[in-house]
Chains A and B, each alone.
Chain A
Amino acid sequence: MPLFDQLCNFAYWLTRNREEAEDLVQETYTKALRGFSSFRLGTNFRAWMYRILRNAFLTSRTGLKATMTVTLDPEEDAPELAVERETPETILIARSNWQLVQSAIDELPVHFREILLLCEVEQMSYQEIAETLSVPIGTVMSRLSRARKTLGERLRQKMKGAEQWSASLGKQN
């Protein structure tokens, strides 16, 4: 089955529930097979499959719930300003901190989570992401930038929390 493992992984990140992810993948293949005639030759097959999965997710209960809590970002298409960032990246990255990164991604709003995964995990080009999400490339760039920035901020908070926690443990001992 083409893209099966990748779609399962993406579905799980979206739903964060194994059963729902499996239902979503099943629905995606059912729709892809039934609606294959709507696939335009010469267009990107991978983006088409991901788009089906994403649309199915957005119309599911979990998807509606996730998207209803997302605030609209009026600056979606505005250019991202260069910001001198503190880099949690430099302190992190050891394997022991993977769990922190995982939970930070988990906590991202769904529109940030999905774009980050499509770019970093699925290694999609901006064009492919634009096709998958049905948004212009400019939006892909600004949303991706905000997603990374938000992830960095979340990680910084988590690192701080973890440090305070280990400090309090040290005092107790």
Chain B
Amino acid sequence: MVCESWKTELDTYLDGELPSDQMHVFDSHLRTCPSCAADALARVQMKRTVQAVGKRFSPSPEFRARMQQRIAMKPRRTVAGFAWMMATAVIAVVVVVGLAATYLGRQRAGQEQVYSELADLHVATLASSSPVDVVSSDQHTVKPWFQGKIPFAFDLPELQNSEFSLLGGRITYLGQTPGAHLIYKVRKHEISVFIFQEGSLRGRWDEEYPVTKELSFNMETWNQGGLRYCVLGDAATADINNLAELLKHAARS
């Protein structure tokens, strides 16, 4: 085997990751060793090919426009606003450091982050081209669909004589914990209902810090029968509460 020790480092050298003194030593070796030089040339060719082949996918103009529009709708979140947000973050960090992050503060931040993640899931799902994996307004079709896909079972309410209709459901994940994500409709508003096993969330929920509004969404959350329910949407508080009551009643019966 020729130049074994050099060839071990060859990829690291070609990736430009060797310390500068070793880079110089390697340069000199390549000038005098045809075997390593040939190998280096082949690997460089391969790197270039992968680089060229790897640039395979360009976003469609429609998708680009859609994303720009979505971001532009939220002034605080425009790209140009990244710098502004960075400045805000600096101030926030200074304030937080100045006030010393108490345990209480950390708890609340963690809690809000969970709600933010749920709000993200809600928005991303509704924006998706296929928001639900089981499409049915029949709870007796939707509920059994989850069987074997999530490690728990739940009951869904009868919706006759109510304003709500069930659109379907999908599997979701929160902190790598599987759960059920159901989507209901009331008038023109879509509402997400998330159900997770309380134990598997490892205390990420704290009743002491209830959040009823997150990023302009209304929400209600509770623990019932070892399951954590969260109802979230842009519908009115009364609608969110009514759907929550229906779910609570179904879980009791």
Contacts and interface: CB of A to CB of B under 8 A. Distances in A.
B185 to A, nearest CB: 21
Overall SS of chain B's interface? helix
Contacts of A165: none
Given A9-B56, A21-B57, A29 B4 contact: no
B123 interface: yes
Contact of B51 (A27, A38, A121): A121
Given A37-B92, A121-B50, A12 B56 contact: yes
Nearest to B44: A89
Interface string B125-138: 00111100000000
Interface of B: 1-2, 4-5, 7-8, 11-12, 15, 17, 39, 42-43, 45-47, 49-60, 63-64, 67-68, 70-71, 74, 77, 79, 82, 85-86, 89-90, 92-93, 113, 116-117, 119-120, 123-124, 127-130, 171, 173, 176, 215
A159 interface: no
Contact of A125 (B17, B51, B70): B17
A-B pairs with lowest CB-CB distance, top 6: A121-B54, A12-B57, A33-B77, A89-B42, A89-B46, A8-B59
Given A2-B82, A33-B74, A116 B50 contact: yes
B15 A126 contact: yes
12 contacts: A1-B67, A12-B57, A21-B57, A34-B116, A38-B113, A41-B89, A85-B39, A93-B46, A102-B53, A116-B50, A121-B55, A148-B46
Interface in A99-132: 101-102, 105, 116-117, 119-121, 123, 125-126
A126 B68 CA distance: 32
A61 B74 CA distance: 29
Interface of A: 1-2, 4-5, 8-9, 12-13, 18-19, 21-23, 25-27, 29-31, 33-39, 41, 59, 61, 79-82, 84-85, 87, 89-90, 92-93, 98, 101-102, 105, 116-117, 119-121, 123, 125-126, 141, 144-145, 148, 151-152
Contacts of A90: 42, 45
Contacts of B60: 18
A23 B124 contact: yes
A87 B64 CA distance: 40
